[in-house]
Structure 1
């Protein structure tokens, strides 16, 4: 059996989201309309990016592209990257005017200092703890000086194995919960300047974490 930190987590994540991609897109397509706090956080991210100037913004772990589209509608030059080829197919189908690429946050195929902003919206949740520092170092590399990063994640402690989801399809992904202060410490260690840590309680026993930082 694979452990949480085994390198097989990437293959498991890709296969799981390939399997659920169509139902995932259908279930979450309009979810942001009912999430005023999330819209506000994304609007703040867009404002901070615009204050740093123009330039591309990567939505890393974009899934079917709904947040990429929202960032574009907020005036950002946003494009999406996702590990799952089927998710990218769905994103291109649903948002044909936007750019989407298959790729891994563990090895971003972007040049140094290319981005003005980078968003990882609940996409770090499957990355094992011992892999996070390298992922954040990659985020730092591709952002230009002053570039903004926003991380959204499930807040809390502990991990669980998710074996089913989004239309009842089988999955095999570990979901990791982290405290905002821990994520902020990782960002600091990667060379970022942390600007804000936030938590959101959209439902009982549900907590979201958000950390803003810049290079």
Structure 2
């Protein structure tokens, strides 16, 4: 991969070398977008011959808005306390609480956690792979917005999510539009003004691939499509 330069500093990485977590480091475009009230970032991959050719969009404004009716409907397919993994400003935590459920969000972004806490929402600045409260007792573990990509290893992430659930608990996994997609790569967030994050490990997984991973963990799987989005519901 060609090194990326920002402000005279050269940043080079491959998928196997990255250790940054979701857009951290560099110029922190994700945190910048959160602080200014939103914006659309580009997600570029290190395995594309011309960086940017396969860039996808990340609409940070949607994370700052209220949960949609479709999102609330998917959440309602679960019961019990909710753990929202990679919660951002915690719109799904708010939705769960508004539905009368106990909920907790976790995220590694200081800006996201600060925004959530400023609204009185219960959020911890923590990775899903860190020790977490009430492990093995959660009724729902939520991975909205493509967060199945966290860490660049969907199999490890879903295995961890299963550990966090109580027996009969259900994991919500939002998946890629391509049902068979299962790719792992180093990614970088890019702000329209040019600010770039450090490279971080990420993955994209379609619903058939996610269902196979969950099935290999011994989970019961169903797929739900709503409002142009697809979710795998995996029950422990």
Structures share fold, TM-score greater than 0.5 = yes
Residue in 1 that maps onto 2:3: none
Distance 2:75 2:151 in 1: 22
Flag the structure with more relative contact order, 1 or 2, with Cα contacts below 8 A and sequence separation at least 6.
Answer: 2
Whichever of the two has the greater Rg, that structure is 2
Distance 1:166 1:148 in 2: 37
Length-normalised TM-score, structure 1: 0.75
Q: Please give the alpha-carbon distance, in whole angstroms, between the structure 1 residues aligned to 2:17 and 2:194.
A: 25
1: distance between equivalents of 2:115 and 2:195?
A: 17
Which of 168, 177, 187 is matched with 2:204 structurally?
177
Structure 1's 163 and 149: CA in aligned 2 closer, same or farther, altered over 3 A?
A: closer
2:156 corresponds to: 134
Match of residue 21 from structure 1:
34
| SS across alignment from 2:197 | strand
Higher fraction of helix: 1
For residues 24 and 168 of structure 2, what CA distance do their matches in structure 1 show?
A: 32
1:1-215 aligned within 5 A: 1-10=12-21, 13-15=23-25, 16=28, 17-22=30-35, 23-24=37-38, 27-28=61-62, 29-30=64-65, 32=67, 35-43=68-76, 45=77, 48-49=78-79, 54=80, 56-93=81-118, 95-96=119-120, 98-122=121-145, 123-128=147-152, 131-156=153-178, 157=181, 161-165=187-191, 169-172=195-198, 176-194=203-221, 196-200=222-226, 202=228, 208-215=229-236
User: Which runs of 5 or more structure 1 residues have no equivalent in the other structure?
Assistant: 203-207
Cα distance in 1 for residues equivalent to 2:132 and 2:91: 22
1:36 and 1:165, CA in 2 relative to 1: closer, same or farther beyond 3 A? Answer: farther
TM-score norm. by structure 2 comes to 0.69
> How far apart are the structure 2 equivalents of 1:109 and 1:175?
22
Across the two proteins, how many residue pairs are aligned to each other? 194
The 1:39/1:57 distance shift into structure 2, 3 A limit, reads closer
Number of the residue aligned with 2:48? none
Q: CA deviation at 1:102?
A: 0.6
Take 1:166 and 1:150, find their aligned partners in 2: how far apart are those partners?
A: 31
Counterpart for residue 205 of structure 1 = none
Pair 7,77 (structure 1): closer, same or farther in 2 beyond 3 Å = same
